[in-house]
């Protein structure tokens, strides 16, 4: 029998259970946000079962708060746990704390420290069964007192590089290995700015689907009618930026009708590097879920073909459905295959090949709040090996005089520039085609690659190298 922890069933109840699902069940935070109700229609029933009683229905304002709490508590988890441990005094109390209680404390700390909620509202909302309630409310009140006295505990930045990295990792709530890696690559000051960006509320971009006759001007008109704040992209004609209002856009049906897509500008600029033209024969090697495939298809204007390869049949099916919705399915052929086997099967050569490779995702940590805690240092070596294998396979599909574009959503040079350098040593028939003709100069590296930087460009971090195969 489950003993109810909460006396009420407001947003914090739902947020606590959702956090448990993400941390213990492996669910992705960004898949639990559609209309604030989660990826499955029975999520609220799951909440009820976990809590042991029925939660009240939440209105749109409550659901937005749930989404904010979940994303923020995940981002700031390391810092919040440091404070909770400090206020528990005994490490054993913290280490032995039941999972749901820990989530409740994280939520309370986040609301008080980051959302600036009044203490009485947080303590009242986090009303627990008597045994747990006394401890939780005592810790929350202690936190409020420390905050009011401006005496919150913080790790010191003294000591050697390793000690400083641990302190920064706590203050800015990132894994230590990421902090050490970034400090080594870009310096401590830039690393701190990057972590601050990752901890900020994410912004999003929308791409107007011109193949349905829906232009950016049409999208702007609809957003004005819905009173959703926005600004046009400075770099891509089909894109606009928004910081708030995604629920309003979803409820209005713009996405379901295929009139626009959620797509970051950084991904759109990778398509610019590919430069799809009507009549092109293109391979998208790791296509699903299909954002770049669909944008490239819209650029073909009904002439040519994109072969969308992916090893995941379910995700490939979603790509096909979205292509039909956006009316670009006439230039997309889905291929369920492992690229490495497909490249050896004697297929014809293609004008352009895009390898948007599996990567660490270190450029999208602002949107993927949970990814920082799921990614491990050991993953990097495995990913680099896979990237090399996929590059060696993809290059077999490029015709003489054709183009191979290698891209990632990573900001790590070992996954980007170093992979390209190693590839060119193995394949001297390819050489760098500088991206200067395809993206604004601000995105060009010294070697002629495309690179977006989250802090500098206010978008996800991404990389692309355009490689030409000799005739």
Distance CA 81, CA 175 (A): 13
Catalytic residue chosen out of the listed positions 260, 285, 395, 409: 409
Q: Tell me which H or E stretch contains 206.
A: strand 204-208
Instruction: Count CA within 13 A, CB hemisphere, residue 207.
Output: 23
Distance (Å, whole) CA 35 – CA 169: 32
Cα–Cα separations (whole angstroms), residue 80 to 64, 75, 111, 147, 429: 21, 9, 11, 13, 52
Taking the C-alpha atoms of residue 79 and residue 199, their distance in angstroms, rounded to an integer, is: 11
Cis bond leading into 179, ω under 30°? no
Q: Which residues pair with 281 in a beta bridge?
A: 305
Bridge partners of 462, per DSSP, are 452
Instruction: Determine how β-strand 260-262 pairs with β-strand 204-208.
Output: antiparallel
Residues forming beta bridges with residue 463, ordered by sequence position = 408, 451
409 counts as catalytic: yes
Exposed/middle/buried for 151, CB within 10 Å: 0-12, 13-18, 19+?
A: exposed
What does DSSP assign to residue 182? H
Distance of CA 87 to the CA centre of its chain: 32
H-state helical runs in 9-118 = 11-25, 43-51, 60-75, 77-88, 91-95, 99-113
Q: At what angle do helices 43-51 and 11-25 cross, to 10 degrees?
A: 100
Local structure of 38: helix, strand or coil: coil
So which residues are the catalytic ones?
A: 409
């Amino acid at each position: 029998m489950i003993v109810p922890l909460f006396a009420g069933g407001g947003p914090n109840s739902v947020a606590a259970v959702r956090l448990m699902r993400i941390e213990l069940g492996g669910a992705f935070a960004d898949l639990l946000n559609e209309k604030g109700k989660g990826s499955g229609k029975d999520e609220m029933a799951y909440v009820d079962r976990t809590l042991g009683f029925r939660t009240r229905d939440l209105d749109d304002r409550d659901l937005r708060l749930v989404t904010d709490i979940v994303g923020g508590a995940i981002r700031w988890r390391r810092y919040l746990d440091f404070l909770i441990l400090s206020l528990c005094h005994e490490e054993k109390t913290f280490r032995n704390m039941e999972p749901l209680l820990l989530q409740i404390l994280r939520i309370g700390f986040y609301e008080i420290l980051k959302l600036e909620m009044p203490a009485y509202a947080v303590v009242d909302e986090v009303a627990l069964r008597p045994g747990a309630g006394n401890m939780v409310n005592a810790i929350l009140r202690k936190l409020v007192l420390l905050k009011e006295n401006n005496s919150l505990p913080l790790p010191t930045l003294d000591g050697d590089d390793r000690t400083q990295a641990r302190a920064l990792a706590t203050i800015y709530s990132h894994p230590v290995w990421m902090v050490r890696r970034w400090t080594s690559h870009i310096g401590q000051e830039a690393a701190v700015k990057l972590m601050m960006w990752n901890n900020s509320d994410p912004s999003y971009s929308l791409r107007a689907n011109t193949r349905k006759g829906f232009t950016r001007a049409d999208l702007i008109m609809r957003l004005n009618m819905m009173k959703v704040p926005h600004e046009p992209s400075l770099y891509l004609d089909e894109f606009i930026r928004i910081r708030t209002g995604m629920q309003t856009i979803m409820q209005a049906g713009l996405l379901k009708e295929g009139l626009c897509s959620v797509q970051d500008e950084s991904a759109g600029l990778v398509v610019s590097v590919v430069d799809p033209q009507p009549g092109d024969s293109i391979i998208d090697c790791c296509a699903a879920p299909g954002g770049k495939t669909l944008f490239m298809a819209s650029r073909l204007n009904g002439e040519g073909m994109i072969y969308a390869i992916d090893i995941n049949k379910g995700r490939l099916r979603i790509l096909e459905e979205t292509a039909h919705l956006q009316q670009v399915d006439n230039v997309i052929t889905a291929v369920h295959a492992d690229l490495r086997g497909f490249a050896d099967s004697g297929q014809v050569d293609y004008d352009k090949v895009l390898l948007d490779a599996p990567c660490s995702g270190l450029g999208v940590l602002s949107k993927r709040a949970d990814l920082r805690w799921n990614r491990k240092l050991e993953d990097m070596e495995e990913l680099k090996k896979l990237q090399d294998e996929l590059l060696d396979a993809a290059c077999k599909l490029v015709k003489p005089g054709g183009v191979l574009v290698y891209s990632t959503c990573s900001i790590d040079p070992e996954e980007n520039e170093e992979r390209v350098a190693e590839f060119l040593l193995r394949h001297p028939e390819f050489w760098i085609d500088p991206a200067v003709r395809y993206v604004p100069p601000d995105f060009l590296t010294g070697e002629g690659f495309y690179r977006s930087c989250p802090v500098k460009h206010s978008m996800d971090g991404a990389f692309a190298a355009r490689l030409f195969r000799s005739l």
